Structure 1
Amino acid sequence: MNYADILIPDSAACRLALEVATEFHTTSLLNHSIRAYLFAAAYGQENAIAFDAELLYVSAMLHDLGLTKEFDSHTVAFEAAGGHVAWVFGAGAGWPAERRKRAAEVIVRHMWAEVDVNDDPEGHLLELSTAMDISGRQTDEIPEPVKNEVLRLYPRLDLVEEFTARMTEQGTRKPDSVAGGFIRAGFVANLAANPLNFRSV
Structure 2
Amino acid sequence: MPDTSAHPAQIGTHTWLERTGGALSPRERRQLLRPLAAAHLANAAGRISGLARRGPGRYKTTGLNLGPAPDSRLARAAESLARHRLTPALLNHSYRTFAFGTVLGRLSRLDVDRDLLFAAAMLHDLGLTSPTPRVDFTLVGARAARDLAEQAGLSAPATDTLLSAITLHHSPGVTPAYGPVAHLLSAGAALDVAGLRSWTVPPRTLSAVTSAYPRLGFKREFIAAFRTEAAHVPAGRAAFLRRYGAFELAIRLAPFHG
- Superposed pair shares fold, TM > 0.5: yes
Gaps of 5+ in 1: none
TM-score by length of 2: 0.72
Partner residue, 1:9: 70
Distance in 2 separating the partners of 1:3 and 1:114: 27
Q: C-alpha deviations, 1:174-193, integer Å up to 9, x for none?
A: 11100011111321111111
* Cα deviation, residue 114, structure 1: 1.2
Gaps of 5+ in 2: 1-61
> Is residue 122 of structure 1 aligned with residue 203 of structure 2?
no
Q: C-alpha deviations, 1:65-122, integer Å up to 9, x for none?
A: 01112xx332421122321221122112222233222211000111111123134111
Distance in 1 separating the partners of 2:69 and 2:196: 23
> Is residue 95 of structure 1 aligned with residue 154 of structure 2?
yes
> Is residue 40 of structure 1 aligned with residue 101 of structure 2?
yes
TM-score by length of 1: 0.91
For residues 66-77 of structure 1, the aligned pairs below 5 Å read 66-69=127-130, 72-77=131-136
Partner residue, 1:190: 250
Distance in 1 separating the partners of 2:188 and 2:100: 6
> Is residue 150 of structure 1 aligned with residue 238 of structure 2?
no
> Is residue 18 of structure 1 aligned with residue 79 of structure 2?
yes
Task: Please identify the structure whose Cα radius of gyration is greater.
Answer: 2
In 2 relative to 1, CA 73–85 (structure 1 residues): closer, same or farther, beyond 3 Å? farther
* Cα deviation, residue 35, structure 1: 0.2
Question: Matched residue of 2:257: which SS?
Answer: helix
Percent of counterpart pairs with the same letter?
A: 30
Q: C-alpha deviations, 1:126-157, integer Å up to 9, x for none?
A: 11111111111111122222211111110111
In 2 relative to 1, CA 5–153 (structure 1 residues): closer, same or farther, beyond 3 Å? closer
2:97 and 2:188 in contact (8 A); partners too = yes
Distance in 2 separating the partners of 1:129 and 1:39: 5
In 2 relative to 1, CA 14–60 (structure 1 residues): closer, same or farther, beyond 3 Å? same
Distance in 1 separating the partners of 2:68 and 2:158: 20
* Cα deviation, residue 64, structure 1: 0.3
Give the CA RMSD over aligned residues: 1.6
AA of the residue aligned to 1:197:
H
* Cα deviation, residue 5, structure 1: 4.2
AA of the residue aligned to 2:200:
E
Question: Matched residue of 1:38: which SS?
Answer: helix
Instruction: Pick from 72, 75, 78 the counterpart of residue 137 of structure 2.
Output: 78
* Cα deviation, residue 6, structure 1: 5.1
